[in-house]
Structure 1
Amino acid sequence: MTTTDELKSRPLPPGHFGLPLIGETIQFFRDPDFAKKRHQKYGSIFKTKLFGRPTVMISGADANRFVFTHENQYFTSTWPPSTKILLGPTSLAVQGGSDHLKRRKILSQAFQPRELAGYLTAMAEIAQGYLHKWERLGTFTWYPELRNLTFDIACKLLVGVDSASETLMGKWFEEWCQGLFSIALPLPWTKFGRALHCRKQLLNQIEQIIRQRQQSSDPGQDALGLLLQARDEQGNRLSLEELKDQILLLLFAGHETLTSALASTCLLLAQHPDSLATVRAEQQQLNRQSPWTMEDLKQMTYLEQVLKEVMRLIPPVGGGVRECLGREFAKLEMKLFTALLVRDYQWELLPEQNLDMVAVPTPHPRDGLRVKFSRR
């Protein structure tokens, strides 16, 4: 059995811890090839310091397999201090072990096949509204628009709020997101300090929505309505405080990573016109008009392959036991949106823009993906 002293005496991987306290955090934010450059210099494993904490980065198929299959054995999954604080102490993302698995089972009840099928109509209506808006705009920056789209869909289907991106809730949420991966200095002028304030506002708003539902005879058929009725194996329901944290997490998960995936899809399809043409040919062959059913979407096999390749090339998140809880929700939204997009619209990337991917909080084009957009 290895003792603590023996572990401490073992050499660390090559690398550089950087500046006191912040380490190499600034370089990590600024350089999209931060990890790639250091892997080229040091090999498949190197050390650094990010968000004030010593960090080891590993790469390669064997490393991924080790990470995804050995959580809670050799290590536990965790987040930077800023993220853990802003997500909340009872959030599924910061729970571990058996508590994480129990809560995951409860939350997964909102993403079963029958529930997903019920979300399809609202998803399509919101997406069509944005497509019409973009047609009117003609030229615009796509990434922030996609953020608004996914936030509106998440808020409608998770908590029943319409056009949330146009409300104070949308403003608070954006500022909260900006502080998730920052230095945890709770000062009013820092990103983290502003995000803390916005978290309080968001939780107050979510609590009002929850209490209104609890007082209603109909809890609703969105995710919140399902979670208000959901019980674990012992018959226990989520407390108000835990429900607030979990809803905030679901809004983040159903927005941030999905926006990244949609932006990557739009970018890569524009850069690979042959694949785009084949996706369109499949749509013409199916000859179906929306509203689509789940069965219609299942027939879009080439589109599904394209979306899988997008996720392989530019993955927005990792896998393992913490694989995205709303993965099927995200896949459904991606497929529906892309099918509507390619069927009726065309777009081209505007020149003189930086398309390098910024890694934090999830991958997205540095200049926001500026496009010219029109109906076909």
Structure 2
Amino acid sequence: MVQSLPPGKLGLPVIGETIAFFTDREFAIKRHERYGPVFKTNLFGQTTVFLQGADGNRFILTNETKYFQISWPPSVEQLLGPLSLALQSGHTHVSRRKILAQAFQPRALAGYVEAMNVISDRYLDRWVQQETLTWYPELRDYTLDIACKLLIGLDDGAAMPLGHYYEDWSTGLFSIPLNLPWTAFGKAFRSREKLLVEIEQLIRDRQAQATPVAKNDALDLMLSARDDDGEGLSLEELKDQILVLLFAGHETLTSALSALCLLLAQHPQVLARARQEQQDLADQPLNLETLKQMLYLDQILKEVLRVIPPVGGGFRSVIQDCEYQGYQIQKGWQSLYQINATHLDPTLYPNPQEFDPDRFDADRAEDKQKPFAHVPFGGGLRECIGKEFARLEIKLFAARLLREYQWELLPDQDLDLVVIPTPKPKDGLKVRFSKLQ
């Protein structure tokens, strides 16, 4: 039986439908309604096939190395660097993932709580003093300070030159890769070079210590790591790996924290119930054991990541012709597994636009109906390596807010989401912030 090619339109010459893809959160949903569970389009000058829902996610994510291989937009590939975990594949990817994963094991996470609380204290006090603030840029500094401290041992990273270079670099990650001085990509490319100089100096300073002082951060781990052949990571690879860890430990977390703050402010009944859970645990210290007892907060965080996932999906190159639901997917195309569209699928999540943490309680467990139905951290061989680090940081931050502080959204602001590089309210989430009375 001859398989047919997926339906769909390729859009404009060269750029295809890339602009619509970047600017419309319902890009895939609208086209699935028109074409069905499989459609093709043109993104970044390349034919791209979208597979719908949990089944599509499962097909792509469980066939890595057989039919699919990691792929990123050209701008991301150039700005992350060829030696970063995000671009590595095969044996090298597996080997490096084992090394980097050690920084996110339970024992390491337990050691991060104190530093997270110290940094939280500083920011929470500052926000109380400010009274009214635009929260998103503050949250960016907060998460960058935590990432810098726990990954590379750098204090006050957001205020350092590295932090300023990082801002320009991350702004150009998802952009047209035109390397000119005035383009977002051109600025990001030059900022990457400055970032690598800063990172290299951190590495050399750490290596030069006559009596090394263990900082218990990811940099310590990578400096001492050896691969299967007993070789350490080269200086060039160390720089790329640190850069991708900073991105993974900062950009998406900022989006998740702002989504949490926005959705709780918009749903006072959920907020009140979450506060009650914290009051019931108020006599217990904020450590890993106490955090495990916050079951309703777990449901809230799952629902936040369902409604506003920090990443909308992930690209894969098609490395072998294959067939899915009667359609031919050709070698040389790229595919996209879908997070945002899956999380809004009414066959998985009834009333998907409604913010309802109870959909994740033990009785309903809507995310358990199908594998790959709830995938805020991806899945398969490339599931986010730092997902437990992210969960710890979000949950600890949420617990601190719920126990001690209150906030309300200021009027006359645009709360529609800008989606690139990660979702955030257009006007930056303006709030009035104070201690609980």
TM range (shorter): over 0.9
The residue type paired with residue 249 of structure 2 is G
Q: Are residues 1:169 and 2:162 paired?
A: yes
The residue type paired with residue 58 of structure 2 is R
Q: Which residue of 1 aligns with 2:347?
A: none
The residue type paired with residue 194 of structure 1 is K
Q: Pick the aligned partner of 2:402 from 339, 342, 346.
A: 342
CA distance in 1, matches of 2:6, 2:414: 34
Q: Which residue of 1 aligns with 2:295?
A: 301
**Number of aligned residues:** 368
Alignment of 1:77-226 (within 5 A): 77-216=70-209, 217-218=211-212, 219-226=214-221
CA contact (8 A) 1:110 1:227 kept: no
Q: Which residue of 1 aligns with 2:420?
A: 360
Task: Flag the structure with more relative contact order, 1 or 2, with Cα contacts below 8 A and sequence separation at least 6.
Answer: 2
SS at match of 1:367: coil
CA distance in 2, matches of 1:143, 1:56: 33
Q: Pick the aligned partner of 1:52 from 21, 45, 51.
A: 45
CA distance in 2, matches of 1:295, 1:42: 48
**More helix per residue: 1 or 2?**
1
Aligned CA-pair RMSD: 1.8
Q: Are residues 1:310 and 2:285 paired?
A: no
Identity percentage over the alignment?
61
Q: Which residue of 2 aligns with 1:39?
A: 32
CA distance in 1, matches of 2:283, 2:228: 42
SS at match of 1:92: coil
Cα displacement (A) at 1:53: 2.5
What CA deviation, in whole Å up to 9, does each residue of 1:297-339 have, x standing for no partner? 2222221221122222222242221111111111110111000
Q: Pick the aligned partner of 1:250 from 228, 245, 252.
A: 245
CA distance in 2, matches of 1:233, 1:41: 50
CA contact (8 A) 2:148 2:155 kept: yes
Q: Which range moved further: 83-92 or 211-220?
A: 211-220
SS at match of 1:76: strand
The residue type paired with residue 241 of structure 1 is E
CA distance in 2, matches of 1:57, 1:352: 37
Q: Which range moved further: 295-304 or 87-96?
A: 295-304
Task: Give TM-score scaled by structure 1 length.
Answer: 0.93
Cα displacement (A) at 1:11: 4.4
Alignment of 1:65-80 (within 5 A): 65-80=58-73
CA distance in 2, matches of 1:359, 1:11: 33
Q: Which residue of 2 aligns with 1:369?
A: 429
Q: Which range moved further: 89-98 or 265-274?
A: 265-274
Q: Pick the aligned partner of 1:330 from 390, 405, 411.
A: 390
Q: Are residues 1:263 and 2:323 paired?
A: no
CA contact (8 A) 1:32 1:356 kept: no
The residue type paired with residue 211 of structure 1 is R
CA distance in 2, matches of 1:32, 1:354: 16
- Any gaps of 5 or more consecutive residues in structure 2? 312-377
